[in-house]
Structure 1
Amino acid sequence: MENKLSVKELGKVGVLFGGRSAEREVSIMSGSGVLAALISKGVDAHAFDPGQQSLAELAEQKFDRVFIALHGRYGEDGTLQGALEQLGIPYTGSGTLASSLAMDKAMTKRIWLASGLSTPKFAMLADDSDWAAIAADLELPLIVKPAHEGSTMGLTKVTDVAQLPAAYKLAARFDSAVIAEQFIEGMELTCAVLGRDENAQAFPLIRIVAPDANYDYQNKYFTDDTKYFCPAGIPDEQEQEISAMVLASYRALGCRGWGRADVMVRATDNKPFLLEMNTSPGMTSHSLVPMAAKVAGLDYAELCLEIIRSAELDLHASSDWKP
């Protein structure tokens, strides 16, 4: 990493976790792990829950930097990042715009497509959508999910056109924007990234094998039935191609600090498709970024240190601004 601050130079660190999103439970698990890891390294780290404490209280803490271990809305979507910019507190992960873009699955896809990157076909859904036309265009099975949620919240695999209205209603409980996406059958991979711009580096790919190919919320966080393979066990040339695609997708969105992209490789022709970018990935005992980092030679605590060292602001020159 470029910025090798000592533990002392990190100053007072806030670990932000909990929050108000549907992923609060997972965020608490992630943040608790990060907090313990940083303390074990001698960092002056303190817990802060934006779901129960106000921005005024955050300002009063006088943190020198913060580790964002929040997932989903109000933590991963650019809103908190904007508040931290106003407060002048450097934070981990992507900036305000990149966080907002990556949280919006439709905008992410539009940017990737404009950049020549492969991602499944999609359509936005509404109450009056022509379900038959959507099924004909995207083909069955297809995936319906909220456009601004993570951890497979509100997601349905639709195998019959008659299931579309109910799938839409479920996703709409989580978000006013709902997306239908072409289903890619094949190998599921994920790729973690650390760094920014041309210095961003991809960790070894992880291949995910979930029960009945159903990598849902329960199988992500609360069971040991899902199998993970890192190294992924694919040809080196294929791994390099997918890693390069992920790095291009990360840069296209303007991401920085760290992130994780999910990828499907179509069984019929081995073509990789980008699914989504996570700008505040999980850091639980089941999480994928620590798993890949370990294979790359970075243990959990060292990974947390590298991430907090990368904390920064978008508006580097804000203190020099004059009306």
Structure 2
Amino acid sequence: MVQPRSMLASTPVESLIPPHALASDKEDRPADLDDALQAGLLDQPAHIVPKYLYDTLGSSLFTAITQLPEYYPTRCEAEILQDHADEIARHVGQVQALIDLGAGDCDKAEKLFPLLRPESYVPIDISVDFLLAAVERLRHRHPSIRIHPVGQDFHQQALSLPEHIASRGRLFFYPGSSIGNLDPAQAQLLLSQVCSLCPGGGLLIGVDRVKSRDILEPAYDDALHLTAAFNLNLLRHVNLQLGSDFDVQDWKHVAVYDEAHSRIQMFLQAQADVVVNWPGGQRSFSRGERIHTENSYKYTPENFTQLLMSAGFTQIQHWTDSRGWFSVYSARSPESRH
């Protein structure tokens, strides 16, 4: 049941998040998550899933990265949303619930409030502490909007929404080209889930486009080394969760464009031979050996349109910035899917 707005004004924001999601960055990890971390570290080549980039510090660092001159996606997306606001609003239609995937500091969605006028806002993010701080700010600025934050890793588990969110008039908002962190098969699966959760509604999504290496690599390896700090902070987070003894000084950030697969790949590379220990295990890394931490796939407009269609979306329209570096897509979900 949707709570009355007068109740929301006095309800602690924490009570609106499912209890299982209220764990902080220092939570005790379930055994299966510890097993998955260890398996990734012991694999050949080693890898750590990118969700460990987003503890409270990591989320703050990423917000800072979006302000860097090299990191063009944020500015390109903002240009599109501003220059094509009226067309986007017409295509999107009436919005009852704005559902923000990977909400972070909620700033991008908040800028859409005057344009889309949602009755409720559902920010979803893996970094619960960071999300709580952002939602507390929004509650004071927008008391007329019902806010229902959700702590969830929707890349690793089926996307779910609070039961009291209206089933009609849902608009999923997935900005910043975060969809690129998934490989195309995973992206299609997530988009299919989204399509099934918004019958008669839609999706507004930012997508980074295929470009030259000269533009892409500096965006992920900036001169101030904020992206390096963001990537290296993952090791501190893993130490906290797994009890490992990574020393960030033993590692350096590496970002390369894999042109064959149209993706940026981020790694942490050992600067010397090193042994990493954790309760019940260890791994030796040779100098130059890498741990894969994140992909960021880039799409042509034709390829991403096809991906949306394969996920069940129709009435697909997209807009781009003045340089053609980035796209924002609006796509509709059919009233019913057979």
TM surpasses 0.5: no
TM-score (norm 1): 0.28
